[in-house]
Structure 1
Amino acid sequence: MSTTQNERLRELLEPLVSSQGLDLEEVEVASVGRKRVLRVVVDSDEGADLDAIADVSRALSAKLDETDAMGDGEYELEVGTPGAERPLTEHRHYVRATDRLVKFTLNDGAELVARILEVDDDGLDLEVPGVKGRKPTARRLDLADIAKARVQVEFNRKNKNDVSEEEA
């Protein structure tokens, strides 16, 4: 059985990323013009700040320099985080998206936009926003029923502290 370059890179880099307290989310080698780019996406439950990204980037660069994992040609290393509208593909992604608005595509093709309230091993407890002044409703969604899920960006959502201060 042959392994792809991405799989070999993942096996090489994952222990190093884990030792930095981060999760290796994605490894991709892409050609951009005549140059190759190695994109590495990392994250953690607390998020990854710029210092953590810089530390892991230096560690990955040193490891890649001491191996021939990228071959002889030049390449550029890009290390970053998944971004605001990240797709949710692992259980830990759903946990990290608690209290966030998510667009779900279900296995039957239906779409649902809801806020994740709680996550357990089997599924999600959601709050579906009310439409036209109606109150939000609760819904349970099994993880097995989800085909795709992506966090949605909210520009004007008030956090709980803002609401409490206004009501006081």
Structure 2
Amino acid sequence: MAAQDRIEALLAPVVEDLGYEFVGLEYSSNPKNRVLRIYIDQPEKGIDLDDCETVSREVSALLDVEEPISGQFTLEVSSPGVERPLFTAEQFSRFVGEQAKVQMHAPVDGRRRFKGTILGVDGDTVRLEVEGTEWSLDVNAMDKARLAPDLDALFAGDGKD
């Protein structure tokens, strides 16, 4: 089991026991700036600073005891935000019809980066329409994935306050 998987297996139950959805984590092991970033959510109400502080305290205490990461690192707890990271097939299935950016570990037919509409999910395979072509991408072979909303449309109002 990879280090990131071990950390996730340790932390996800703690986050969920606190009443939050464990969206996923990112770990940057750069020796000069090691960061463990945990994404949490409560789809029905969202996340605020108090939620992040609550989770940070509990997770920090557990990390101090279990020490899955040696040496110093920065712990960040965050909401997924508008450009929500996607870690699992289940998360992709929740956002069918939305735009996403995907970066693969290795090229698929000569291409590593994709931006398109999520068409659906079959097991661990995400179907993405990119410029009129449907791609089938294995979620386990993805390096990074996140929603890619049209921010202009998102923030464009009807002129009313």
Is the structural similarity TM-score above 0.5? yes
TM class by smaller structure: 0.5 to 0.7
Name 1:77's counterpart in structure 2.
75
Q: CA offsets, 1:50-83, max 9 Å, x none?
A: 1111100110001111112112x11111111212
Name 2:24's counterpart in structure 1.
26
| 1:38 aligned partner, one-letter code | L
Across the aligned residues of Structure 1 and Structure 2, the Cα RMSD in angstroms comes to 3.4
Q: Distance in 1 between matches of 2:33 and 2:146?
A: 32
Name 1:36's counterpart in structure 2.
34
Over the matched positions of the two proteins, sequence identity in percent amounts to: 31
Name 2:156's counterpart in structure 1.
156
Change (3 A) 1:85 1:14: same
Q: Distance in 2 between matches of 1:25 and 1:111?
A: 21
Of structures 1 and 2, the larger Rg is shown by 1
| 1:6 aligned partner, one-letter code | Q
Displacement of 1:16 in angstroms is 0.3
- Equivalent of 1:102, from 98, 103, 123? 98
Q: Distance in 2 between matches of 1:5 and 1:149?
A: 22
Name 1:68's counterpart in structure 2.
67
Q: CA offsets, 1:11-46, max 9 Å, x none?
A: 110110001111222222213452321111111222
Moved over 4 A (4+): 87-90, 92-95, 110-113
Answer whether contact 2:20 2:41 (CA < 8 A) is retained. yes
Q: Distance in 2 between matches of 1:67 and 1:112?
A: 40
Please list every run of 5 or more consecutive structure 1 residues that lacks an aligned counterpart in the other structure: 114-123, 125-140, 163-168
| 1:156 aligned partner, one-letter code | A
Q: How many correspondences in the alignment?
A: 126
Change (3 A) 1:151 1:20: farther
| 1:52 aligned partner, one-letter code | D
